[in-house]
Structure formats: C-alpha cells, structure tokens
Amino acid sequence: MVVFFYVKAMVGLVLAFLISVPSMVAYAGNLYQDVDVTWGDGRGKILNNGQLLTLSLDHASGSGFQSKNQYLYGKFDMQIKLVPGNSAGTVTAYYLSSEGSSWDEIDFEFLGNLSGDPYIVHTNVYTQGKGKREQQFYLWFDPTADFHTYSFLWNPAHVVFYVDGRPIREFSNSEGTGLEYPNKQSMRLYSSLWNADDWATRGGRVKTDWSQAPFTASFRNLRVNGCVWSNGASSCNSSSSGKTWLSQKLDATNQKMLKWVQKNYMIYNYCTDIRRFPQGLPLECTVRTETS
C-alpha cells in the first residue's frame, strides 16, 4: 500500500504541475513581531533572528504559539516542515480560532504516522462552537522533507484551504439558507504540536513512540494580509481597494485544481459519511461546496 501511495504521489505531482504552476510568493516579516510562543516551557523557540520557529513535543509537554493580532477576514500563509520519521500519535495543528464557548475555528491538523506511511491532512470548520465538518486528504509530496506553504483564505464569501497555492477545500457562506458562517468573531492564528495518540493515528491504535522524542516541527515565512481587529473595530474600511483577497473567488482554473485534489487525494468527507449520519446528511452538504 505504501508503494502504491508513493507511485500515485509521483503521478499526482506531475499532474498538479500540468494543471497549474502557482507563482512564487515573496515573503517578509519577522516572527518576533508577528507571534508569541505561548506555552511549552521552552519547547517553542524563535530562531535565526526571527526567521524560523520550532515547536517540540516530548513526554512532558508539547508547545504552541499564537499571532499577536486578531483578525476578521484575511489571507494567511505559513511554510511548515512537519515532524519527520515515526511521528505516530502526534498532531501538528495550524488554525484560526476565536474565544469563548461558541467559538469559530478553521483548522489544518496534520496527523502523524509510522515511518514511511503518509501524513493525513485533517481539515475542519467550526461555527458557533459546532464542528464535525471534517475532510481529510493525503498529500502529493513528503511534507517532512522540506517546507511547504499551507494557507487559509477567509473572506465574506468563503473559506478556502490551500496547499502550495492549490485549493483543496472550499467552505462557502450560505447564510441565506439559515446556515452559520464564521464572520461574527475575530480570530487569532495559532499553531501547536501535541500528543493525541488516543485518536490521531489509525484511530488511536498506534501510540506515540516516546523513544523518538523530542518531535519537532518547523515554521517560517508567515505572511498575513488581513483585517486587524482591535478595540471592536476592523482595520479594513468599506473599500477593498488593494485587498484583492477580500473578494477573491475560485476561478475556473482553481475550480479544476480543487476537483483534481478532491478526486485523487481526499480520503474522508463528512458529507458522504452515511453511517455517521444515519438520519440524513447535514443540510449544508447539499447547499455548500462540500462534496467532491
């Protein structure tokens, strides 16, 4: 199965480039200025004069950071190199979240696996404290060998998850049908590395091998184009001039890439899980762009 996955991955990589080769993004900024390491007792470190951040996990604790600013809409890009080797039981999370019991959240969670097996990219969206909107994917490359860019586009029309500039999931605003959308609460950008061996790898059947610790994930080149939320007001005015991301939609080329990724690399979609929803699939599955 592993051989099959890597053959498929190589074919997929070629197809991806045939579909589109995204333009390179110029990054700037200093992580000292953009984020705070918030927990981990020294396991989270900003290095290289603010150009690199590492999070580590050992038997005692994981670690995490959060953005200094809160945002109400934005485009968020981060280059991440995931935990190499036997990462079973570990989760590297990269997400946007508000606070409180009725929170909004937009998630990337990278589920570790045994050496040689593929990572699972777990995505989810919470609105008003309600989630259970999971979609999962394999990747068409080894995410531990080098840095790759993982992005959220969050604007009034939709949330789009990107990997290296290619959309893998779109969660549309369907408030007109009475469905919730994350647009009422500001959110911070967070990341953490933690132990979740009760569920992360093969449903919790494979546990963390602590002899491999410390586990380390690396982060660099955070780029945020967003509406900063401060003192109850947004930094974005009524004009979206210079903020193309605020009204950005998926054009025909990106729609084609989205369908390609979902056809070839999606391994779970809550909108097709009849066993999980025996009384009927969630209404949003027929309204939003949530099916492959």
Answer left, alpha or beta for residue 51, where phi above 0 means left and psi between -120 and 50 means alpha. Answer: alpha
Which of the following is catalytic: 99, 105, 170, 180?
Answer: 105
CB contact at 8 A, 266 and 287: no
105 assigned to active site: yes
CA gap 93, 261 in Å, rounded:
21
CA gap 170, 288 in Å, rounded:
9
Residue 29's φ and ψ, nearest 5 degrees, are: 110, 170
DSSP string spanning 176-200?
GGT---S-SS-BEEEEEEEE-TTTT
Burial category of 202 from C-beta neighbours within 10 Å (exposed 0-12, middle 13-18, buried 19 and up): middle
Nearest to 111 by CA among 83, 140, 142, 80: 83
Residue 272 has a CB neighbour count (10 Å cut-off) of: 16
150: which strand partners? 78, 163
What are the structure tokens assigned to 265, written together? 């690399």
CA gap 284, 131 in Å, rounded:
12
CA gap 267, 111 in Å, rounded:
13
Which of the following is catalytic: 99, 109, 170, 175?
Answer: 109
Active site residues per annotation:
105, 109
